[in-house]
Structures are given as C-alpha cells and as structure tokens.
C-alpha cells in the first residue's frame, strides 16, 4: 500500500502540478510532528537485587546494563517507538525533540493471617476446625509493591538538502540521547510458623519477613547518533519517512540497592553500533 501510494504521488509530481510541488516541503517557522515505528529506545533491562528471606548467604548478583535497543534482530515496523517534534529555524535546518515515557505503579498491601487458640492454649494459624464453616474467615495474601519508570529523550538537529523530486526532503543530522529507567520492588509478606509449630522456611520458628525494605535498581545512560533519512510529502500536511542511524554510541550505568541503608552495587556498559537502527515514521506538517 505504501509503495502504491508513493507511485501515485510520483506520477502526480511529474504532471503539470510539478511547479507547485515545492510548496509541500517545510519552510522556516513550520512545525512537524510524527509517530516513529521500529525498535524502541528504552533501556529497560533493569536487574533487581534478590530478596533476603531467611538466606544467611544473601548475595546481590551483579549485572551490567545492556543497550537492548541496539540489536540486529527482531526489529518490528509495527511497534510504536516514540514521537518526534521538529521546528524549522530555516528552510533547510530543523531542531527536533524525540522521546517516550512510561510509568506503572502498584502499591503494597500487607498480608493478613488468621489465628485461633487450640485446646492447649497455643496460638495456631488458620481457623478453628471445631467451629462452623459459616464463621470461617479467610486469610489474605499480600500484594507486592512494584514501580517502574522508563524515559528516553533525544534532542538533535537536521540539515535538509534539495532533491530531484520536489516533494522529497532528504536530510542528515545529529542526535544527543538520554535514558533513565527505575524499578522498585517491595514484598511485605510475613510468613508465620506452620500449624504443627514447625516452620520449614524458618528454623527459629519465628515470623519471617521477606523484604526488609524497598529493593531498587536504576539505569542511566547517554549517547549520540548520526542520522540520515528522507521525508516524502504525500499531501501538503502529511508525510511519511524513513530514517537510519549509521553510528550509535551509548554509555549506560546501573545501580542496585538491595535494601535501604546498604551499599549500592554499580556496573557500566558501553555500546558502539553501525547501521543498527531504522525507523519508519508518519507525520503531519503544521
């Protein structure tokens, strides 16, 4: 469908309308906005520290951040990768801002355990088996706190140069990128001794706390990209385009906090890539 539309538009451009086709490409003071399709740009492979539980050999396993947005496989044009806004400060020079933001948050809820006193006067978890089913009250499991924030921002500039076809606007440019991802997990579950007085998960036969506080992990990254592409204006206010990024550099640093007050484990990663990202875009001119 895209090739058919492009062919029809090219045929129109070669007709008597060619003299007016130069009005399609942006001029100084114009805004354009587009939706990008392709591989996402979030650095979202955040590795959280494991919970302590009753493990006396609790270990925080190190894991360097990985720029998964730079990958040669499984790139899908059907994936919305973000939005782009441009302002033309001259007929052939534009500044742009590209970005995306995601935030999800689940608040924590403490588990509720029912207890009863047995015939020997000891406290036991659950409901008294000697009572009627009509008065049994269930225990409630906990809900773990889970927060995740993903952000990427790209600021850049483009130089547009003339092409043989008047509706075509090829360009080269430079992007400066910033990435931030943060993940928080807290499990408020308290495990109580089993009804037989022996808790296989707790050798001291005491309530077991899963997390001593929020476990946190975050990734910060920055980099730059050389870009090249072309926009083709199907209508005066509508265009589609392709963009390739022949050179990409990303430096990322991760920080893992296993519990409040403990030291942070840091790791770093550097990624260089050539011709690793392409984007298809559909946009409007204002």
* Integer CA distances (angstroms), 275 to 164, 248, 249, in order: 25, 8, 11
Taking the C-alpha atoms of residue 180 and residue 196, their distance in angstroms, rounded to an integer, is 49
* Integer CA distances (angstroms), 38 to 77, 106, 227, in order: 4, 29, 15
* Residue 113 confidence (pLDDT): 82
| pLDDT tens digits, 232-257 | 999 888 999 999 999 999 999 999 99
DSSP letters for 183-214: EEEE---EEPPPTTS-BTTBTT-S-EES-SS-
* Residue 16 confidence (pLDDT): 44
SS3 of residue 50 by DSSP: coil
Taking the C-alpha atoms of residue 208 and residue 201, their distance in angstroms, rounded to an integer, is 8
- Write out the H or E segment, with its range, that includes residue 178: strand 168-186
* Integer CA distances (angstroms), 286 to 20, 129, 171, in order: 18, 73, 19
Residues of the chain short of pLDDT 50, as ranges, are 15-19, 21, 195, 197-200, 202-203
* Residue 112 confidence (pLDDT): 87
């Amino acid at each position: 469908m895209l090739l058919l539309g492009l062919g029809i538009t090219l045929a129109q451009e070669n007709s008597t309308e060619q003299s007016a086709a130069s009005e399609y490409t942006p001029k100084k003071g114009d805004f354009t906005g587009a939706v990008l399709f392709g591989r996402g740009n979030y650095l979202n492979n955040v590795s959280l520290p494991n919970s302590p539980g009753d493990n006396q050999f609790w270990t925080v396993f190190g894991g360097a951040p990985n720029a998964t947005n730079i990958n040669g496989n499984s790139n899908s044009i059907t994936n919305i990768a973000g939005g782009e806004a441009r302002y033309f400060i001259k007929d052939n020079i534009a500044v742009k801002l590209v970005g995306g933001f995601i935030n999800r948050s689940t608040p924590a809820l403490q588990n509720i355990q029912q207890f009863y006193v047995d015939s020997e006067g000891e406290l036991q978890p659950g409901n008294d088996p000697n009572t009627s089913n009509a008065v049994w009250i269930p225990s409630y499991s906990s809900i773990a706190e889970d927060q995740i924030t993903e952000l990427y921002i790209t600021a850049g500039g483009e130089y547009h140069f003339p092409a043989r076809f008047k509706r075509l606007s090829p360009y080269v440019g430079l992007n400066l990128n910033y990435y931030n991802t943060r993940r928080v997990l807290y499990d408020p579950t308290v495990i109580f001794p089993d009804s037989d007085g022996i808790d296989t998960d707790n050798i001291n036969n005491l309530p077991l706390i899963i997390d001593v506080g929020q476990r946190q992990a975050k990734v910060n990254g920055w980099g730059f990209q050389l870009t090249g592409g072309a926009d083709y204006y199907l209508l005066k206010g509508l265009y589609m385009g392709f963009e390739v990024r022949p050179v990409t550099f990303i430096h990322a640093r991760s920080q893992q906090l296993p519990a409040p007050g403990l030291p942070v484990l840091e790791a770093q990663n550097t990624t260089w890539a050539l011709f690793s990202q392409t984007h298809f875009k559909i946009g409007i001119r204002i």
